[in-house]
Amino acid sequence: MRADLERVKILAESWKPEQVLSWAFATYGDDVAVATGLGVEGMALLDIASRVNPDLKVFTGDTEFLFSETYDLMDRVEERYGIKIERLYSELTPEDQERLYGKALWARDPDECCSLRKVEPLRRKLATLDAWVTGVRRDQTSERQSIRKVDWDYKFNLVKISPLADWTARDVYQYMQAHQIPELSLYNLGYTSIGCKPCTALPLDPNDPRSGRWAGQKVECGIHIPAAPSAN
């Protein structure tokens, strides 16, 4: 299986998103699911994937600190595509987290907060799958520049599929407009990258769409930072 994956890793770099997704659904069936944070990339990916496989499985991380607009979009997405988005929750309620870690953990230790509310819930979900599909792109951050369309995810130990890896922001927006895909209304207010409400602000750098995340402390929650292969 891993030998076949090495071959597909090379071939997939020339595939369009639809081809990547067709291979993913044909290869992994019920053991692959689409992850979306409901940003523009996630929405474009969801639309393409739904055209390839209307019965796709979709999940999102619900930190319980999202914008109300994000929850509204979830409802609209479920209605438009006739799907149910699985929401991944932390084992700690916001109240539990405050009791154990103090108020506003995201401001004092955003890595720990992201780990509790985003990374670990995702880890539990991915342990039930053979592959997952993401909307990440290489030009988003320096940490994502080496992402391949199909690869082994050493952090979570399954296949990671990123059909939009070689797309630009312009490609995404052109697709969104061409297919009239709903998006977060917060983009109209100047936000360019949207996550949890306490950790999302207007961009600090107009040339860096993710510069409004985590008050300039970091640009990644930890999910898409590649892990090195194990020495064992």
What are the Cα distances from residue 18, in Å, to 44, 162, 163, 169? 12, 11, 8, 18
β-strand partners of 34: 58, 133
Find tokens 């936000």 and name the residue. Answer: 191
Active-site residue identified among 113, 114, 196, 221 = 221
Check: CB of residue 159 under 8 Å from CB of residue 25.
Answer: no
Check: CB of residue 159 under 8 Å from CB of residue 152.
Answer: yes
Q: Each residue of 203-217: b (16+ CB within 10 Å) or e? A: beeeebbbbbbbeee
CA distance 208 to 141: 9
Q: How far is CA 35 from the centre of its chain?
A: 5
221 is catalytic: yes
**DSSP string covering 92-112, please?**
S-HHHHHHHH-TTHHHH-HHH
Residues identified as active-site: 221
